[in-house]
């Protein structure tokens, strides 16, 4: 049995379980749930009128409109459906940076486990992908209680290793997921060459995509002193330098990268969440969920 406390921290899940994980976009689902479905059903929430065509059931005709306007329209209702949540966790070598709770992969796994717990608790289906240059592990989305255990086992089984190829992985995942749902990518995006392309593939498939950009404090602040030999985690490159001399340029390059990423996510209507491994996980998730709840529900 996996140690559920390793990634699913009780203090985290306790504080966020009051919050509902809601999909900002319409997702498809098998179960009637709290999430609006693109499939018109029998829910009480009116969606739109449509011109009657042959074959439509007569019971869906809105007779009040016929009485006022003398034309036949069909009354359509939005159906509440189950969320299908896919968690995509980067397990490349760069995610191994950091010790203890500040380890980026551990922190990312905690985010993934917390979201999975939340989804399953509200009867939504949840699946997991881990990847580096390719998909390394795949837990298909289900809403059973044992799903959480499977996902935790999968997270515990893998360790950070290899390089990152998000573009290729995104394409594979897009083909793997049969129905639209919510895709949450948790990665440091380091060593990713074609991030935009990968995200675009997922968006084109109609997924609601959220991106947790996990970075370590060292990567954000670069507060190193003394002569240091920096050796690449995902490459053979190295650099002997006085880190303070390079800090300014490093931070500039990092800021540029972060702003480019944020701008690209905005363009693709992807929720972007920049996270430091030193940030309290509950606060991060609470913020993510509250932001998603406050955003207007968009129709695809």
- Applying CB under 8 A, the residues found at the interface with other proteins are 93-95, 97, 188, 190-191, 216-219, 221, 223-235, 237, 239-242, 244-250, 252-254, 257
Contact 176, 169 (CB under 8 A): no
- Write down the least CB distance from residue 169 to other proteins, Å: 18
Crossing angle for the helix pair 104-121 and 281-294, nearest 10 degrees? 50
Q: 172 or 221, CB closer to other proteins?
A: 221
- Write down the least CB distance from residue 152 to other proteins, Å: 25
Q: 67 or 227, CB closer to other proteins?
A: 227
Q: 47 or 158, CB closer to other proteins?
A: 158
Q: 1 or 245, CB closer to other proteins?
A: 245
Angle at 235 between CA 234 and CA 240, to 5 degrees: 115
Return d(Cα 300, Cα 298) in angstroms, integer: 6
- Write down the least CB distance from residue 105 to other proteins, Å: 11
- What is the C-alpha radius of gyration for the chain, rounded to an integer number of angstroms? 22
Q: 204 or 223, CB closer to other proteins?
A: 223
Cα torsion angle, 93, 95, 98, 101, sign: negative
Q: What backbone phi and psi angles, to 5 degrees, belong to 11?
A: -65, -25
Return d(Cα 275, Cα 186) in angstroms, integer: 10
- Write down the least CB distance from residue 172 to other proteins, Å: 24
- Write down the least CB distance from residue 187 to other proteins, Å: 11
Q: Quickly list DSSP for 175-206.
A: HH--S--EEEEEE--TT-S-HHHHHHHHHHTT
- Write down the least CB distance from residue 266 to other proteins, Å: 22
Return d(Cα 149, Cα 34) in angstroms, integer: 24
- Write down the least CB distance from residue 101 to other proteins, Å: 15
Q: 77 or 250, CB closer to other proteins?
A: 250
Return d(Cα 163, Cα 83) in angstroms, integer: 31
- Write down the least CB distance from residue 300 to other proteins, Å: 35
Residues 6+ apart with CB under 8 A from 15: 282, 286
Q: 56 or 234, CB closer to other proteins?
A: 234
Q: Quickly list DSSP for 77-122.
A: EEEEE--EEEEEEE-SGGGG-SSGGG-HHHHHHHHHHHHHHHHHHT
Q: 140 or 243, CB closer to other proteins?
A: 243
């Amino acid at each position: 049995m996996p140690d559920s406390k390793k990634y699913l921290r009780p203090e985290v899940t306790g504080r966020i379980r009051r919050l509902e994980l809601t999909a900002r976009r319409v997702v498809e689902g098998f179960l009637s749930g709290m999430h609006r479905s693109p499939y018109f059903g029998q829910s009480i929430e009116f969606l739109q009128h449509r011109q009657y065509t042959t074959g439509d059931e007569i019971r869906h005709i809105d007779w009040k409109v016929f009485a006022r306007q003398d034309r036949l329209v069909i009354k359509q209702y939005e159906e509440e459906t189950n969320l299908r949540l896919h968690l995509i966790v980067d397990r490349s070598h760069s995610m191994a940076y950091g010790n203890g709770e500040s380890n980026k992969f551990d922190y990312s796994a905690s985010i993934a486990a917390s979201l999975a717990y939340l989804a399953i608790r509200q009867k939504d289906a949840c699946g997991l992908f881990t990847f580096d240059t390719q998909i390394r592990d795949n837990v298909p989305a289900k809403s059973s209680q044992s799903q959480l255990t499977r996902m935790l086992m999968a997270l515990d089984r893998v360790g950070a290793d290899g390089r990152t190829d998000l573009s290729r992985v995104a394409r594979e995942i897009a083909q793997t997921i049969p129905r639209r749902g919510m895709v949450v990518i948790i990665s440091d995006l380091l060593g990713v060459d074609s991030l935009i392309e990968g995200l675009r593939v997922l968006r084109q498939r109609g997924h609601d995509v959220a991106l947790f950009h996990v970075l370590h404090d060292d990567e954000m602040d670069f507060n190193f002193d003394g002569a240091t030999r920096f050796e690449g985690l995902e490459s053979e490159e190295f650099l002997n330098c006085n880190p303070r001399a390079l800090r300014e340029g490093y931070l500039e390059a990092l800021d540029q990268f972060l702003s480019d990423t944020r701008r690209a996510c905005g363009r693709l209507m992807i929720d972007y969440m920049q996270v430091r491994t030193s940030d309290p996980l509950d606060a991060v998730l609470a913020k993510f969920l509250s932001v998603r709840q406050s955003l207007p529900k968009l129709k695809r």
